[in-house]
Structure 1
Amino acid sequence: MIQTQPLRARYIGVSLISLALAAFASPALAAGQSSTPAQDDRTAAEAQPAAVEPGEATTNADGTDAGSGEIVVTGSRVPRAGFTAPTPITIVGTEQLAKAAPSTLAESLRQLPALTNTAGPQRNAGSQRVGQSFLDLRSLGPNRTLTLLDGRRVVSTSLTGSVDANILPSGVVQRVEVVTGGASAAYGSDAVAGVVNFILDSEFSGLKGEVSKGISQYGDNAETRATLSGGTGFAGGQGHVLVSAEYFKNDGVKPGARPWARTGVNFINNPGGTPALFLQSDIRAVGTLGGLIIGGNGGTAANNALFNGIQFLPGGVAAPYSYGTLTTATQQVGGDGVSTELIQELNRPLERGSLYAHVSFDVSDNFTLFADGMYGRSTSTVNNTYNRRQPSNPFTIQRDNAYLATFAPQIRDRMLATGVTSLTMLRFSSERGFIVTKGDSETLQGTLGAKGKIGDLKWNAYYTHGETKQSNDVLNNEITANFNRAIDAVFVTAANVGTSGLAVGSIACRVNVDTNPNNNDPSCAPFNVFGVGSPSDAALNYTRGTSASDALIKADLAAVSLAGPLFEGWAGPIDFAIGGEYRKESINFTTDALSPTGAYLLGNPTPWSGSYNVKEAFAELVVPLLKDVPFFRQLELNAAGRITDYSTSGKVETWKLGLSWKPVEDLRLRATRSRDIRAPNLSELFQAGRQSIAAVNDPFKNNVRVTGILQINSGNPNLTPEFADTFTAGAIYSPSWLPGLNLSVDYYDISIKNAISPIPAQTAVDQCFLNVQSACDLFTRDANGNITRFAALPINLASAKTRGVDFEAGYSIPRGFAGLDGQFSVRVLASYLAKQETTQPGGAPVDRAGEAGVNPFPRWRGLAQINYDGEHTGAFLQARFIGSGDYDKTRGPALIDLQHVPAAAYLDGQISKKIAAGSGEVELFLNVRNILNSAPPLAPENATLPVAYNALLHDVLGRVFRVGAKFKY
């Protein structure tokens, strides 16, 4: 198990380091400048920026750092001034990110329409990503989005190869560049949906920081965030050092803490027949916290049925159970059932801290050494579920059970009279609370590198080693075999006392007094199932344990590149970039001794390990084709190719061709065609198995809803790489008649062959009903045809396709216009989704574009921002829009009565006041998220623990306030 210091203590240490740096550098600290990018990707000349004043943007529109003079071209490896890559790009500055959502980087980025489905700490987020947030472009999955830090890969923070965006040093992030198109040829594998590149302000000099507190209107979601960053030169300006630290804590939101989260609204079977499922309120799981008899055994059918519907109240008192209405085997409306909606938190608690340090030294004008180190840790403990015995896994109480005789002798006597020998029971055990999952993740990464120039050519080389240690503990978890032994409680008699040493007349486990040494278990403590709170501490200690796992993820990366002018062409210089990369990744996954045997009710991971190495070589060209001729103000070709050799799947080739064309000064047209690649990650290949629970509506059983299905999540060594063909085409219009206005539109089409994906249980059973045999093979049914087990393993789909259009508009008025002492800007981003289609081998295509219910694929998403940045005051207003859509395109009115989910809009805002503080500045701010306290629309999840909304799409916390202060010296 991972042993680490408490986060708070580590944060104090990190803060002291930064303060010491600041004290050392204070005499020479220069006033820091924020860096916010322009809102388009034109060249600096085209952008026509206003004069830069202290504190204004120092980044040119083409990505050039105006302070350092270093050229960074987003979407390309070729660093040439004036070159605009033809790949669609969205650039977001750090100030805009902070105003949009000041809590975390991931929360800020998920405002962007292309990243709306980014997963965070919401409920039903799974137990393997507790406390982490992964970026997801185009809703194609986090493992198809490549996350970079200053253009370099980051060690994976998860078993699936993804990177938790929240470990990155947000205090010195200058901007985030989102490449919304295939970028494998330029950046490497996994960039099927695109790249999110976090650019750091590595040359920052000064001291800056932020402290903020947050709380919701309902008095929960308490949040604390603090950052502190300091940078200074040394050795007469030849060297520079930067240190940044961050601490974050959110207490989360408890289950049912919002009006829209405690209604119990979901689907249940309709006894009228049409539709097969319809929405009802107060849906509960059949069962009780104190135990419920659902039938007898050993007697006639009529006699067995005499015991149905007897529950046990506190103290073991027997009473009739109310089945409510519309009752199925697992669900009911009202009555005495258990409300499973009130188990998991609406927002999971999270505590994390991070430290980043960067140092560079100019050995000469053409040779620089650099090194950086990054440390991040997060921890979160979340509710999972009850120790639940449902119809899919009931337990049996024998007629001679000692507690039955003690608390319900009348039931035992009736069993004797009717010939019933045992009882089948359900129970949601609430003793000691829920099964909880505690996730700890710790990442450490270091990089050593050098860069320089040889004539006009630039070279760069670096080596990175990173490690992530993760522990995932499922606590208070039933040990099934121990529970089954403990509930079989009998009286100790003179006949059975044997050598047990137990007192005659006491209650013991049957295995305590078994004379067969192979069956005897003297450690067993009898478990009283009759009534809430009835089990003893000894029984709970015996029947509960921790299903634990630890993972060590390692990555070694080395890269070298050379770029610059190749020769002078007929329309300008032809530039190139070439390079090679090597990467080795490994995972060693270990568990406790019991989990691999399937001993626990939940979890039960199995040890596994795996590794692969990747060797890559790439080349890229920028070729000016035409310049300053009619209708061809500029025409450039961008071509890239990469050969990648995986140790697990062999060689693959990726490539990109792109054109950038300016027919006139104000208009740029762009288009790309690329082949992209993603090989299966280590988890998809080698994961040995982990147990969870699924729920489906079974079409083979008249769509009866079945919950509590045992789901086994495992890898598939037979996977092959997936290939994506991507086409993008767009236009950028920046009218010279209205400086500051930028408009763009981009079309994208991504088609993935052999797409690697697990099939959700509901999709699989639906496909099986349509005679897709590969889907049927994933299920196990009992003799009565009831689903008992589902194999959730990744497979190569026939295809996955997405297609749509992105829109962006921005308008910025320079400072001083109309007497304003600040800058006023407007930005609008929107995305239209035309297709989101998957095809399973042997099945028909399923297009879910336009769903805003069970799946998060609405046609329209949008974001509109208005910002005023004045000399002394600031104001920011943002509207988030999620379009309407079908609840589930595969389920028509004959199946469900909810066919449409309405559109939703949320309003956020911030006001700030700047105050001079000596040689620096302090900015106080008030940020309000979801100003109108808008509730999410009704869109129930299809989950074992269902809720009435889609947390990936909609705001589920209501109005949240944050106050804070930023300072900069």
Structure 2
Amino acid sequence: MIAVRRILAATTAMGAVAICFCSPVLAQSPAEPTQNETTVAQSADAPEANAADIVVTGSRVSRPGFTSPTPVTALSSTELAKSSPSTVSEALRTLPALTNTSGTQRNSGSAGGGQSFLNLRGLGATRTLTLVDGRRFVSTNITGSVDANLIPSALIERVDLVTGGASAAYGSDAVAGVVNFILNSRFEGVKASAQYGLTSHDDNHEFVATLTGGTAFAGGRGHLVVSGEYFENKGIRGDARDWARSGYQVITNPNGNGTVANPTQILSPNVRLVTSYGGLILNGNGGTAAANASFRGITFGPGGVPQTFDFGTLTTAGTQVGGSGVDNASIQQINRPLTRKSVYARATFDVAPEWSLFGEGSYGEVHSDYINGPNVHNSNAAQTAYITIRQDNAYLPESIRARMIASGVTSLTMTRWDLEDGKTHTDNLNKTTRFVGGFEGKIGDWKLDGYYQWGQNRNTNIVKTTNKIANFNQAVDAVRAPDGSIVCRSTLTSPGNGCVPFNPFGVGSPSAASLTYVNGESPAYIRTTQQAAALNLSGEPFSTWAGPVSLAIGAEYRRETARVRSDALSLLNGYKIGNQQPWSGDYSIREFYAETVVPLANDIPMLRLLEANAAVRRTHYSTSGSVTTWKGGLTYKPIEDLRLRITRSRDIRAPNLNELFSKGRQNVSTVRDPFRNNVIASNISSLTTGNPNLKPEIANTLTYGGVYSPSWAQGLQLSVDYYRIKIDGAIATVTDQVALDQCFAGSADFCALSSRDAAGNLTAFRSSPINYSRLLTSGIDIEASYRVPMASMFDWWKGQLNLRAVANRVNHFTTSAPGLTTLDVAGSIVDSQPHWRAQGQLDYTLDRFNLTLIGRYIGSGTYDKSRSAAQLGFRDVRAQAFMDGQISYNLPQLGRTGQIYLNVRNILNTDPRIAPLAGNLVIVTNPFLYDTTGRMFRFGVRASF
């Protein structure tokens, strides 16, 4: 996660805030419900039998005319396809509410493995609850998040976004809100789609295909629907764009004195790391200071030939501008390759006139193999330690050995990036299985439904071609045997130990046998299982003078288990990257809830409607005890054209299995070291473990606003909503940078989170999550939409025009915690929190032709609001806009909804803004805000019969 990452890791992820987004498809006439009316939106494939169904997202009460006081954004499948016909998650993340949804972009971490986790309001994927038809979907990740792309896209009728106040209705994890996918479970017929895409750079090649069939059986009492999907994307190389090769990074200014004229850090192009693929000597050891320093800057070309290293300009211990250093920012892919296969099936059978049984199953397989980078030896940390070359090293060029002997230098400290074995890469295979069985029926006027779900996720995450630390250290210490052959020094005392000497001097010098010996695969085998059951009863027990009172009650049970395995070498932290530590854990949850809707006034002057909605849920966690959540809301229509609403709620997020029980996995961290004049220290070992004493987070949410649909302007709708979410006891892990900064400021507790060697060099970080912080975010969501037949304006102009603009203003995004300065990063680009984000759409339909243009806007902001102009010279980032479009034409030969289309993302091929992520030397922009793909063409065909 990037948002506020320098303050609290795992507390927030990137994102803006929710919006009120009304699809034209959802409002066919002024008399029909509009964007927050939360009734069923029919797709072209939905059978007429479904038209009477009532689905209210954000509430367990379902009855005609009920409008939840909690803002609910609804998007039809048609609108999703126009935003991005590639994947559901890519379509959703065009909304300001979900801009920072993770996916296959660079810097999206290793745990996701190409999955897309939805992230509402920038509060993190773990605080966004993903549902399918109002039921939980089995988590596809150890953190409890759900890959939205495993939900069958061909059957999605609409997606509802509940932007806050949903825990009382749906349970834990709904702090930021709920994303509920409504499926067309009664589809009949056959439909198929195929799509091919590529960029104007001839990369990111992509193929998507779906096939769906549905039929009734047993005289109409039964129904079966099956849908399959295949997706493949080849990705984008790390150096495939000019902006990616620019090398812009925030670095330490060696001439800085902490003033505005000479700040401590600056932004510069062509930033490189002080290292070499062929090996670079940093200093000698054992001689005088002058003798030791005389070896600095010797690098090795092909064949191990000594050369002079160019240190460029603005050189520090870790970075330089220009020269011979390594450009780390173009190694990892801009977009990671991905293959996904999934299948979904559902059967329904009416056992009685008002009783039915259903069963559904799904299976998804996601495979991603992406680059981490070369094996590196450029720090004092054990995992990435510098190479020590002794005077008697058998591969050492004789000219260097002679100088060492003459000057009394006994060893050399060398940095190297191993290019010969390719780049370390992570092979991630994720398999998810889910089965659900349930029933629906009526007892008198009461509706009763229930279900049981079993699901399991199996993740195999293997870091390949990573150094075995002990093997490498033995192999690089090569000497001459008595017979003149080159062997490992360890072989002299332990013959037959299998060590193969490694030649570190020059690119291409290590033998294939030595590469096989020093490298291995660090595995992690993760299995998570979820069992869930629920029983819901709803009805209208009595009426008041204003109308029927609705009541819903229910009980839910859920059990989550996880088991993580690795190998013997990982237990010893023996690999350079990976080293998953085995662990297992489980917890169970029992919940009871009640919700009611009470009409207070109806159809009287200035009280066209006044309705109260209240809910309470009691939840017991086996790990942390019981907690109560609740919500209360009012919906008020003083006149027919205006609806006002307000909701106040208490929401929770329970710690997930990883936060509770994880034994950790070896990562590396890049930080500024304030104890050493803020020089960049890269590839420092970092380990985060779980904390079984965590308690649930408590959030207090307030939303209020209104929807204005003037009768004097048919098709026009305006909405404004204010929100405020405050989370107390937020589960957070102090980032390595914050630990260093707070230690430097004098906090001994933070000093315990880092380790140094005798020379004061950083060697390791360690931490675990705690209920540590408070988060507060607030803002305003704005929408304006207008639907108009063109003939109403011009007699000669036919067709339908739909215009819509949505915008979000982030007022505050504040973090505070004991020992930390309260920080508001609203308006900070590096934290993915620009004040303004917006999207505008023009949609024109004429007979079988449709044209859609979409503009996406990311507002200007301060690059890093946490740092002053004296600390960081790079201040302002200009606003950025992207334009997308789609042209489609319906063909009768392809069936009732068949069409061909051309979709173009980023039509103008606009480059992202230069905005490197904090403490990160692998990317020059923020991929969670800006488009990093470039112009992307997608050609497709859909058929339905």
| Shorter-chain TM-score tier | over 0.9
Cα separation, 2, equivalents of 1:823 and 1:858? 34
Give, in angstroms, the shift of residue 263 of structure 1: 0.6
**Unmatched tracts of structure 2, length 5 or more:** 1-22, 257-261
Asked if 1:895 is matched to 2:871, the reply is yes
Whole-angstrom CA distance in 1 between matches of 2:36 and 2:731 = 45
Distance in 2 separating the partners of 1:574 and 1:44: 23
SS at match of 2:81: helix
2 CA distance for matches of 1:57 and 1:863? 28
| Structure 1: distance between partners of 2:368 and 2:663 | 25
Q: Which residue of 2 aligns with 1:917?
A: 893
SS class of match (1:96): helix
State how far apart, in whole Å, the 1-side matches of 2:925 and 2:33 are. Answer: 48
Query: Following superposition of structure 1 onto structure 2, how do residues 170-185 of structure 1 map, counting pairs within 5 Å?
Result: 170-185=153-168
Partners of 2:894 and 2:942 within 8 A in 1: no
Q: Counterpart in 2 of 1:86? A: 69
Per-residue deviation, 1:431: 1.1
Q: Which of 107-116 and 772-781 deviates more?
A: 772-781
Q: 1:76, 1:41 → 2: CA distance? A: 25
One-letter amino acid of the structure 2 residue matched with residue 397 of structure 1: I
Equivalent residue, structure 2, for 1:623: 598
**Contact map agreement 2:42 2:51 (CA 8 A) in 1:** no
Q: Is contact 1:37-1:91 (8 Å) kept?
A: no
> What's the counterpart of residue 508 of structure 1?
487
* Distance in 1, Cα, partners of 2:508 & 2:895: 64
Shift of 1:268: 2.1
Which residue of 2 is the match for residue 420 of structure 1? 409
In the TM superposition, what whole-angstrom CA distance separates every residue of 1:47-99 from its partner, at most 9, and x where no partner exists? 999xx99975979xxxxx87341111121100110000000111011111111
Contact conserved, 1:618 with 1:643, CA < 8 A, in 2?
A: yes
Tell me if structure 1 keeps the 8 A contact 2:343–2:362: yes
Partner of 2:251: 268
- Residues 36, 175 of structure 1: 8 Å contact kept: no
User: Do 1:693 and 1:944's aligned partners in 2 also have CA atoms closer than 8 Å?
Assistant: no
Equivalent in 821, 828, 831 of residue 805 of structure 2: 828
- Whole-Å Cα distance in 1 between the matches of residues 388 and 481 of structure 2? 20
Please give the per-residue CA displacement for 1:416-475, whole angstroms capped at 9, x wherever unaligned.
222211111111001121110111100010100000111211111100000000010000
Q: Output the amino acid matched with 2:179.
A: V
Deviation at residue 43 of structure 1 after TM alignment? 8.1
Matched residue, 2:219: 236
Q: How does 1:428-443 map to 2 (within 5 A)?
A: 428-443=417-432
Give the direction of change, closer, same or farther, for the CA distance of 1:157–1:819 in structure 2 (3 Å limit). farther
Q: Is the deviation greater in 583-592 or in 521-530? A: 521-530
Q: Say whether residues 1:871 and 2:847 are aligned partners.
A: yes
Contact 2:191 2:213 (C-alpha < 8 Å) held by counterparts: yes
AA aligned to 2:490 is V
CA contact (8 A) 1:36 1:56 kept: no
Deviations 1:830-858 (A, max 9, x none): 11101111112232211111111x21000
The answer (yes or no) to whether the contact 2:652–2:699 under 8 Å persists in 1 is yes
- Judge conservation of contact 1:797–1:838 (CA < 8 Å) in 2: no
Shift of 1:657: 0.3
Report the Cα distance in structure 1 between the residues aligned to 2:327 and 2:617, rounded to whole angstroms.
54
Decide which moves more: 939-948 or 678-687.
Answer: 939-948
What residue is the counterpart of 1:715 in the other structure?
A: 690
Q: How far apart, in 2, do the equivalents of 1:636 and 1:54 lie?
A: 26
1:856–1:48 Cα change, 3 Å: closer
Matches within 5 A, 1:854-869: 854-869=830-845
User: 2:43, 2:76 within 8 Å by CA — same for their partners in 1?
Assistant: no
8 Å contact from structure 1 (residues 183, 192) kept in 2: yes
Query: What amino acid sits opposite 1:487 in the alignment?
Result: V
1:397 corresponds to 2:389: yes
Query: TM-score under structure 2 normalisation?
Result: 0.94
Matched, 1:302 2:281: no
Structure 1 residues 171 and 211, CA gap change in structure 2 (3 angstroms): same
The question of 1:359 aligning with 2:347 is answered yes
User: For 1:161 and 1:473, how far apart are their aligned partners in 2?
Assistant: 20
Q: Return the offset for 1:45.
A: 6.6
d(CA) in 1 for partners of 2:803, 2:655 = 42
**Match 1:371 to one of 356, 359, 373:** 359
Q: CA RMSD in A?
A: 2.1
Mapped partners of 1:880, 1:66: distance in 2? 37
1:486-565 aligned within 5 A: 486-493=475-482, 504-514=483-493, 522-565=497-540
Would you say how many aligned residue pairs link Structure 1 and Structure 2? Answer: 910
Output the CA distance in 2 between the equivalents of 1:521 and 1:740. Answer: 83
Structure 2 residue aligned with 1:448, among 425, 437, 461? 437
Considering Cα pairs closer than 8 Å and 6+ residues apart, tell me whether 1 or 2 has the greater RCO.
Answer: 2
> Matches of 2:496 and 2:778 in 1, distance apart?
62
Corresponding residue number in structure 2 for 1:144:
127
Aligned to 2:739: 764
Counterpart-to-counterpart distance in 2, 1:373 and 1:54: 24
Cα deviation 1:722-769 (Å, max 9, x = unaligned) = 100000001011111122222111110000000012233233333444
User: Secondary structure, in 3 states, of the residue corresponding to 2:209?
Assistant: strand
**Which residues of structure 1 form unaligned runs of 5+?**
1-34, 60-64, 494-503
154, 179, 188: which one aligns with 2:137 = 154
Out of 264-273 and 590-599, give the one that drifted further: 264-273
- Identity rate of aligned residues, in percent? 50
2:700 maps to: 725
Secondary structure of the 1:833 match is: strand
Q: Which amino acid aligns with 1:195?
A: V
- Which amino acid in structure 2 is aligned with residue 306 of structure 1? S
Matched, 1:334 2:322: yes
Determine the C-alpha separation between the residues in 1 that align with 2:605 and 2:739.
57
Quick check: 1:265–1:280 contact (8 Å CA) kept in 2? Answer: yes
Distance 1:48 1:244, change over 3 A: closer
Residue 235 of structure 1, CA deviation: 1.1
- The aligned counterpart of 1:76 is 59
Matches within 5 A, 1:3-42: 38=26
For residues 349 and 783 of structure 1, the distance between their equivalents in structure 2, rounded to whole angstroms, comes to 43
The one-character-per-residue Cα deviations of 1:25-50 (angstroms, maximum 9, x if unpaired) are xxxxxxxxxx985259998478999x
> Contact (CA 8 Å) 1:247, 1:352: kept in 2 or not?
yes
**What amino acid maps onto 2:213 in structure 1?**
G
- Please say which of residues 195-204 and 388-397 is displaced more in the overlay: 388-397
Aligned CA distance change for structure 1 residues 521 and 427 (closer, same or farther; 3 Å): farther
Work out whether 1:247 is the aligned partner of 2:233. Answer: no
* TM-score normalized with structure 1 length: 0.91
How many Å separate the matches in 2 of 1:358 and 1:820? 45
Q: C-alpha displacement at 1:921, in angstroms? A: 4.8
CA contact (8 A) 2:168 2:615 kept: yes
2:832 equivalent to 1:850: no
Give the partner amino acid of 1:669.
Answer: L
SS at match of 1:452: strand
Taking the aligned partners of 2:771 and 2:279, their CA distance within structure 1 comes to 44
Maintained 8 Å contact 1:43/1:83: no
Q: Mean alpha-carbon deviation: is it higher for 455-464 or for 819-828?
A: 819-828
Amino acid in structure 2 at the alignment position of 1:840: A
Q: Distance in 1 between matches of 2:758 and 2:706?
A: 61
Equivalence for 1:216: 199
AA aligned to 2:406 is A
Match of 1:706 in 2: 681
Q: 1:574, CA displacement in angstroms?
A: 0.2
Matches of residues 195-214 of structure 1 in structure 2 within 5 Å?
195-214=178-197
Contact conserved, 1:467 with 1:554, CA < 8 A, in 2?
A: yes
Determine if contact 1:387/1:429 at 8 Å carries over to the other structure.
Answer: yes
User: SS at the partner of 1:568?
Assistant: strand
Residue pair 2:631, 2:647 contacting (<8 A) in 1 also = yes
